[in-house]
Structure 1
Amino acid sequence: MNHFTITKPSSSLWRVSFDNPPVNVFSSQTIIELRTLVDAAETDPDLTVILFESANPDYFSAHWDLTDDTSSLASEPPPVTGQQAFVDVLIRLSKLPVISISAIRGRARGAGSEFLLATDIRFASRERALIGQFEMTTGVAPGGGAVSRLPRLVGRGRALEILAGADDFDGDLAERYGYVNRSIPDAEFDEFINSFTHRVAGTDRGAVAEMKGWVNEMTLPDDQEFRPQSDAFFARLTGPEVSGWITRAFEQGLQQPGDLEERLGTRGFEV
Structure 2
Amino acid sequence: MPQSYSTLHVTVADGVAEIVLDNPPVNVISAMLMKDLTSVLGELRDDSSVKVIVFSSANPEFFLAHVDMHILDDEDLFNELVAATPRGVNVFQAVGELLRNQPQPIIVKLAGKARGGGAEFVAAADMVFAATETAGLGQIESLMGIVPAGGGTQYLLERVGRNRALEIVLTGDLYDATTAAAYGWVNRAVPAAELDKFVARVARNIAGLADNVALRAKEILAPARPLEGYEREQTAWAGLIADPIALALMGRALEHGAQTPEGEADLEQLMRSVTR
CA contact (8 A) 2:94 2:150 kept: no
What residue number does 2:80 align with?
75
- The total of aligned residue pairs comes to 267
How do 1:57-72 and structure 2 match up within 5 A? 57-69=60-72, 71=75, 72=77
1:74 counterpart letter in structure 2: N
Cα distance in 1 for residues equivalent to 2:213 and 2:226: 24
Query: CA-atom RMSD, angstroms?
Result: 1.6
Cα distance in 1 for residues equivalent to 2:66 and 2:174: 13
How do 1:1-271 and structure 2 match up within 5 A? 1-10=5-14, 12-69=15-72, 71=75, 72-76=77-81, 78-216=84-222, 219-258=223-262, 260-271=263-274
In the TM superposition, residue 93 of structure 1 has moved relative to its aligned partner by 1.5
* Stretch of structure 1 that moved more, 79-88 or 40-49: 79-88
In the TM superposition, residue 79 of structure 1 has moved relative to its aligned partner by 1.9
Cα distance in 1 for residues equivalent to 2:80 and 2:202: 39
In the TM superposition, residue 223 of structure 1 has moved relative to its aligned partner by 3.4
* Stretch of structure 1 that moved more, 66-75 or 54-63: 66-75
Cα distance in 2 for residues equivalent to 1:250 and 1:51: 31
Cα distance in 2 for residues equivalent to 1:205 and 1:86: 32
CA contact (8 A) 2:127 2:186 kept: yes
1:110 counterpart letter in structure 2: G
Going from structure 1 to structure 2, the CA distance change for 1:205 and 1:83 (only over 3 Å counts) comes to: farther
CA contact (8 A) 1:24 1:62 kept: yes
In the TM superposition, residue 224 of structure 1 has moved relative to its aligned partner by 4.1
In the TM superposition, residue 181 of structure 1 has moved relative to its aligned partner by 0.4
1:78 counterpart letter in structure 2: A
CA contact (8 A) 1:148 1:221 kept: no
Cα distance in 2 for residues equivalent to 1:78 and 1:224: 20
* Stretch of structure 1 that moved more, 137-146 or 200-209: 200-209
- Where does the alignment leave 5 or more consecutive residues of structure 2 unmatched? none
Q: What's the TM-score once normalised by structure 2's chain length?
A: 0.92
In the TM superposition, residue 169 of structure 1 has moved relative to its aligned partner by 0.5
In the TM superposition, residue 82 of structure 1 has moved relative to its aligned partner by 4.7
CA contact (8 A) 1:51 1:100 kept: yes
CA contact (8 A) 2:85 2:94 kept: yes
SS in 1 for 2:147: coil
CA contact (8 A) 1:131 1:168 kept: yes
